[in-house]
Structure 1
Amino acid sequence: MFPDVLLLLCVAAYMRRRPRTRRYWVHPMLQERRRKGQFRTLYRDLRHHPEKFFGYTRMSVSSFDGLLAKLKDALRRQDTNFRLAITPTERLLITLRFLATGHSYAALHYQFLMGRSTIRYLVLDTCKLIWKVLQPEFMPTPDVPMWEANMQLFWEKHDFPNCLGAVDGKHVRLVMPAFTGSLYYNFKKFFSLVLMAVVDPNLKFIYVDVGAYGSSHDSSVFQHSRFGVKLRTGQMTLPPPRPWPDTVEPPYPCVFVADEAFALSEHVMRPYAQRDMTHKKVVFNNRLTKARQVVECAFGILANKWRIYHTAIKMQPKYAIIVVKATCILHNYVRTLDSMTIEEEEGDLSNSALVTLPPATLRGPISAIHNRDKLADYFVP
């Protein structure tokens, strides 16, 4: 009987509780959004000063307009009798400002005079749309002609033959996620998720995989990613083996260059270990590093342009994945339309919020070791 009586008392106490009422339907300060908000007071002036507009949104006016045209229909919401909908332009501007600065929802709340929950929703919704709309055009699945163009550019710019792209994985800092234990706690003693990427010689992302636990190793993340599985099982559409430049035979497979954190394989070329180094191995490592630096530069530009990477992202991992994917596709979009170069980016590209993982100790197959030795001989005839 006692549990039943206790339950009845709890129900009675709940029913007697004074219902909570909202003090405001819309806070008086937020009602001034269309008159005093940053979108109303600043946006039009920024468009008359392209350099200021670029600093504010991290893209040119023409790129912003093009992006808005692609997203406008999906971002438009219906006006009601109670309130007017937030315009697509304002939604996109707030999202780009969030990505470009890393400001909290609270900071944007005071800048744009909009509710925190509203900003949170529209930022995530817009990031999803950015990836969905831009990915087919600005990060398509490569075909053989695209791979062959990359090989030609890698040889012309970085003196590395049969190279399709550079691979690397980086940590994206997170505020400690709830109820995850040590899954996101990495060897650098902070919480993160892994951004795995393949980059072309123009510093654009060919492929990204986001969301692996920070405690995971680069080699493991790559092998279990969709790209790594297709590469390992032969499902990737790659150019056939071919001789290196200025040689006739034999043909060698096309490869992706990577650092010591990756395992050597038929299509992944990594440097020699630092022990027992010879002149030939030093030359090979230098040539490979020169080609592999494109992925480091791409990560540096990404972090310096979208400065949400300069601090720990205050989101649950599933939402941080959405934001990171949006910045990666925006990176390709801006580099395609604005033709940015490394020298035009601000900041030190080597000092980024993205941290490299430690070396792997896996030994590659005999055929891959043989191909690496032959390539080292090719560099030092």
Structure 2
Amino acid sequence: MDPVLAVGIILSLDKRERKRKQYWSKRWFLRKQTFGHAKLLDELRLNQPEDFRNFLRMDEESFNELLWLITPLIEKKDTIMRKAISPMERLLITLRYLASGNTFEDLKFPSAISPQTIGRIVIETCEAIISCLDGYIKIPCTEDEWRLVSKDFEFHWNFPHCLGIDGKHIAIKKPAESESFYFNYKKFFSIVLMAVVNAKYEFVMVDVGVNGRVSDGGIINSIKFGRRLHDKQLNLPKPEVLVEGDIVSMPYVFVADDAFAMTKNLLKPYSQTHCKLNDEKRVFNYRLSRARRVVENAFGILSSRFGVFQRQMFLSPEKAATITLTCCYLHNFLRRKSRTYLAGGSADWMDGDRELHERVWRESQTKLTGLLTTTQRNSTSRAKLTREASQNYFCTRGMVPCQLNRI
């Protein structure tokens, strides 16, 4: 036989042999019931409830309720080719991703699911969570609903007519062909999470997805909430006196930091850049800071509970926004359902003398990056009068015992 022909036959047979040995799935993926997440969860549920909470960032009762809610939206049917991944496995892999922030490539080993499939599962499950928990983030629609938010701030933090707002950068990989569109002042690529928070550390408004380059006070005008605030469409209560018999009526205000331009309904502290502040202004800054700590705590708790915020997300801006929004919904869900979610010193607190005590998350490196301080200084006369009236109130009838010691 011709030697060349013989070699050709051998190569052809070898190629067909290799082709016959190919599988539609890696063999060890087919054995995920032996060592996958579901088996580990059963062990933790029975013997280590604390580790169960650490593993998924929620207790068993909350997990079971969430699974019951989203099962109709994520359940798939078995086929003659393969058995479908169960709703519990889908929720497990999603919660573990949110809790750890590990890449899909890393998560394939404990779950025995391919990274491509994990990527689809995580986004589909997050969309289902957002849909099922839709009522857990709800911006107040009426004056009475805003008053309830304000009264909680006054009761817990001694700031009447107060509402809270802030924004943070969420680190993402550079989107393809985006150039510097998502490049922020801290020299990384990001989208911005804007939120209004109530006195119970719950998000009442969340907007996520604005490019990180818009990092100054103008960002509030880039979101629907900011435009509604500017156009007076939020149904905020009309200005009211703080104490019966007062002449000056005070508007309801969002307390913010120097990242925002001050307006009639948005107060920020006095700047210490150009001049030394007197005691009255320092008292105002302290009292406003106490109220703003609620917003800072909400972001701090979010980033410490969900490890996905502690590293860069290797996702598109749209998918990163879905992940971020899901964590905000889960935060509110667990805040209301779980007794252990804020246990162990998660949030700042005040003692009987109204003395503020800070919590451990402030000392960690997991805090989200704040917005850039705005250079807009052209506050309206009405905004300045509102701040002065608040300052006078805090230094007279609204004084709290510890404020002079804290300035």
With structure 1 as the length reference, what TM-score do the two structures score?
A: 0.90
Q: Distance in 1 between matches of 2:189 and 2:244?
A: 48
Partner of residue 283, structure 2: 283
Q: 1:331 to 1:188 in 2, by over 3 A?
A: same
Kindly provide the amino acid, as one letter, of the partner of residue 148 in structure 1: R
Kindly provide the amino acid, as one letter, of the partner of residue 63 in structure 1: S
Runs of 5+ unmatched residues, structure 1: 1-17
Q: Which of 362, 377, 380 is matched with 2:392 structurally?
A: 377
| Matching of residue 228 in structure 1 with residue 226 in structure 2 | yes
Alignment of 1:1-381 (within 5 A): 23-39=22-38, 41-48=39-46, 49-135=48-134, 137-143=135-141, 144-163=143-162, 165-245=163-243, 247-274=245-272, 275-276=274-275, 277-339=277-339, 340-341=341-342, 343-345=344-346, 348-349=361-362, 351-362=365-376, 363-381=378-396
Q: Distance in 2 between matches of 1:139 and 1:218?
A: 25
Q: Distance in 2 between matches of 1:270 and 1:263?
A: 8
Q: 1:43 to 1:195 in 2, by over 3 A?
A: same
Structure 1 residue 285 displacement after superposition? 0.5
Structure 1 residue 347 displacement after superposition? 5.3
Partner SS state of residue 327, structure 2: helix
Between 173-182 and 193-202, the greater mean CA deviation after superposition: 173-182
Work out the percentage of aligned pairs sharing the same amino acid.
Answer: 34
Structure 1 residue 246 displacement after superposition? 5.5
Partner of residue 8, structure 1: none
Runs of 5+ unmatched residues, structure 2: 1-14, 347-358, 397-407
Q: Distance in 1 between matches of 2:112 and 2:153?
A: 49
Structure 1 residue 342 displacement after superposition? 6.5
Quick check: 2:345–2:360 contact (8 Å CA) kept in 1? no
Structure 1 residue 279 displacement after superposition? 1.3
Partner SS state of residue 63, structure 1: helix
Quick check: 2:168–2:194 contact (8 Å CA) kept in 1? yes
Cα RMSD, aligned residues only: 1.9
Deviation per residue, 1:261-302 (Å, 9 max, x gap): 101111111111113311111110110011011111111100
Q: Distance in 2 between matches of 1:33 and 1:343?
A: 35
Q: Distance in 2 between matches of 1:155 and 1:343?
A: 25
Deviation per residue, 1:105-143 (Å, 9 max, x gap): 1111111111111110000100111112202x2112313
Quick check: 2:194–2:206 contact (8 Å CA) kept in 1? yes
Q: Distance in 2 between matches of 1:332 and 1:103?
A: 23
Kindly provide the amino acid, as one letter, of the partner of residue 175 in structure 1: K
4+ aligned runs moved over 6 Å, structure 1 = 18-22
